[in-house]
C-alpha cells in the first residue's frame, strides 16, 4: 500500500542561483530522504535526480520495494507519494563525485543538517560514505544504520548506485536498500 502524503513538497534548491542546481524533492515527515553525494552533470542540466544512463538508483529502488513500479528520472517527484524524498549533500554538479573536495562538504554541512532538521524524515540515507564522512569528520563509516543521528534523523549509509561504482553488484545494492526499506516501513503502519 503506498504511503500517501497530504502535504505538497516545498521547492528547495541545493545550491545558489550562480551554480547549476538540482531541486530537492522534499516534504515534512517523510520516511526516508535519499541523499546523493552531488548532482551529476546530466541531472543538473535536466533538473532530474539520478538521470545518468548508467545510474542504477531507480532500478534498485523498485527492486528493493520502495516503488511499486520502475520509475524514471522524469518521475522523480513521484517518490513523495511513497514516503521518500531526494536531496544532495554538496550542491556543485560534477562529472564524478571524486571531483569534490572535503572543504565543499564541510562548507555545505551546516545548511544540509538544518535542512534535514527542518524536514524531519525518519531516516536520512547517505548514498556512499563520502558525504557523511566529510560532514561528520569521521573517517570510519560503516554501512547501514549509524550510531549517531544526523540532523535529528536516523542516519543510514547505503552503497552509491552510480554506474561508476562497480564495487557493488545490482543484487548487493538491492539487498542493502531492502534492509533500509524494512527498517523504515515495517515498524510503522505504512508500507510501500
Kindly state the cell numbers that stand for 30: 517523510
The full length of the chain comes to 192
Order the strands of the 123-127 sheet from edge to edge: 84-88, 32-36, 123-127, 154-158, 144-145
Model pTM score: 0.85
In a domain, 4, yes or no: no
Domain hosting residue 52, numbered range: 12-185
In a domain, 44, yes or no: yes
Number of domains in the chain: 1
What is the DSSP pairing of strand 23-24 with strand 12-13? antiparallel
Measured distance between the N- and C-terminal CA atoms of the chain, rounded to whole angstroms: 5
In a domain, 139, yes or no: yes
In a domain, 99, yes or no: yes
Q: What is the C-alpha separation between 24 and 26, in angstroms, rounded?
A: 6
The pLDDT, as a whole number, for residue 20 is 53
Looking up residue 98, the CATH number of its domain turns out to be: 3.40.470.10
pLDDT tens, position by position, 141-184: 999 999 999 999 999 999 999 888 889 999 999 999 999 999 99
- Do 36 and 52 contact (CB within 8 A), yes or no? no
Neighbour count for residue 110 (Cβ, 10 Å): 10
In a domain, 58, yes or no: yes
Residues carrying an active site annotation: 38, 49
pLDDT tens, position by position, 115-138: 999 999 999 999 999 889 988 889
| Beta bridge mates, 124 | 33, 155
pLDDT tens, position by position, 61-120: 999 999 999 999 999 999 999 999 999 988 877 777 777 777 777 888 889 999 999 999
- Do 123 and 156 contact (CB within 8 A), yes or no? yes
In a domain, 191, yes or no: no
In a domain, 3, yes or no: no
In a domain, 24, yes or no: yes
Return phi, psi of residue 85, to 5°.
-135, 175
Q: What is the C-alpha separation between 75 and 104, in angstroms, rounded?
A: 29
Amino acid at each position: 500500500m503506498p504511503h500517501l502524503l497530504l502535504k505538497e513538497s516545498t521547492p528547495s534548491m541545493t545550491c545558489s542561483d550562480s551554480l547549476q542546481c538540482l531541486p530537492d524533492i522534499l516534504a515534512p515527515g517523510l520516511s526516508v530522504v535519499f541523499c546523493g553525494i552531488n548532482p551529476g552533470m546530466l541531472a543538473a542540466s535536466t533538473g532530474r535526480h539520478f538521470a545518468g544512463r548508467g545510474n542504477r538508483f531507480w532500478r534498485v529502488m523498485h527492486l528493493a520495494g520502495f516503488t511499486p513500479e520502475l520509475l524514471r528520472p522524469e518521475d522523480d517527484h513521484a517518490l513523495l507519494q511513497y514516503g521518500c524524498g531526494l536531496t544532495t549533500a554538496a550542491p556543485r554538479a560534477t562529472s564524478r563525485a571524486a571531483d569534490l573536495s572535503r572543504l565543499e562538504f564541510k562548507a555545505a554541512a551546516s545548511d544540509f543538517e538544518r535542512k534535514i532538521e527542518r524536514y524531519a524524515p525518519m531516516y536520512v540515507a547517505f548514498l556512499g560514505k563520502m558525504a557523511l564522512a566529510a560532514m561528520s569528520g569521521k573517517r570510519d563509516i560503516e554501512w547501514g544504520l549509524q550510531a549517531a543521528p544526523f540532523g535529528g534523523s536516523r542516519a543510514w549509509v547505503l552503497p552509491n548506485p552510480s554506474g561508476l561504482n562497480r564495487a557493488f553488484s545490482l543484487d548487493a545494492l538491492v539487498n542493502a536498500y531492502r534492509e533500509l526499506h524494512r527498517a523504515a516501513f515495517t515498524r510503522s503502519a505504512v508500507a510501500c
